[in-house]
Amino acid sequence: MASARLASVNRRKRRDIQHFGSYVKKNFEYIKVHLRQLTYAFETLTLAVNQRYVSDKVENITDISGFEFPLNEIETMKELENLLSSGDVKTRLVLLLGRVGGDVVSSTTYRVMAKLKTNRHGTEITWTSRSKPNEFKHKMVDMPRILAAICDPVRFHPRLKDATDYEVYTSVKEWLCLSIDRYKEEK
């Protein structure tokens, strides 16, 4: 009789421990979800404050050493590549291009590219300069600072802060491939 009572008490304790464990686990998941939401809200607020601070600090964002966007000449693109070693120029460019918006990496990258260069200019550039025989095109890969200046505005958006270079580069390649079609439609 005592052993049956002891076994019953032990089963109840195990069941209580299991219930307590599942209760703690469920509440822990609830806390994690709310912590993620708070973290996202905090990051968004921090980004907005920083953007306002940087925008106030950089007087005229659109004046980037006399460049007019979108760029339409390969020479101006190379000049901009050389100027991007300066932190101030890069900050201004990222702020200018970071305002285009978008909800996914590809659409945001497309908008950044459209703000940065014209479709005609896009037809003169390929990712690795492979094109038809007897046709020379410039390499986008030879402009690492421009590529970084494309990735940063995409990541400027709070939802896209974890976007990888590969995702952005893939979208840049697609934009360059499709620029000839867009240019033909413009004519």
Residue 160 contacts by C-beta under 8 Å, 6 or more apart in sequence? 102, 104, 105, 108, 154
- pTM of whole model > 0.75? no
The answer to whether the beta carbons of residues 128 and 143 sit under 8 Å apart is no
DSSP state of 71: B
pLDDT digits (tens, 9 = 90+) for 29-43: 878 877 877 776 676
Residues above pLDDT 90, as percent of the chain: 15
Stretch 131-153: mean pLDDT:
79
pLDDT digits (tens, 9 = 90+) for 12-32: 777 777 777 778 777 778 788
Task: Give the span between the Cα atoms of 183 and 117, in whole angstroms.
Answer: 12
The two structure tokens encoding residue 33: 């979800």
> What pLDDT was estimated at residue 43?
66
| Average confidence score pLDDT of the chain | 79
Q: Is the pLDDT at 110 greater than 80, yes or no?
A: yes
Closest listed residue to residue 62, CA positions, set 94, 109, 110, 107: 94
Q: Is the pLDDT at 170 greater than 90, yes or no?
A: yes
Task: Give the span between the Cα atoms of 128 and 110, in whole angstroms.
Answer: 19
Task: Give the span between the Cα atoms of 90 and 146, in whole angstroms.
Answer: 9
Task: Give the span between the Cα atoms of 23 and 10, in whole angstroms.
Answer: 20
Cβ neighbour number for residue 119 with a 10 Å cutoff: 21
Q: State which amino acid sits at residue 159.
A: R
Stretch 105-124: mean pLDDT:
90
The two structure tokens encoding residue 80: 């901009």
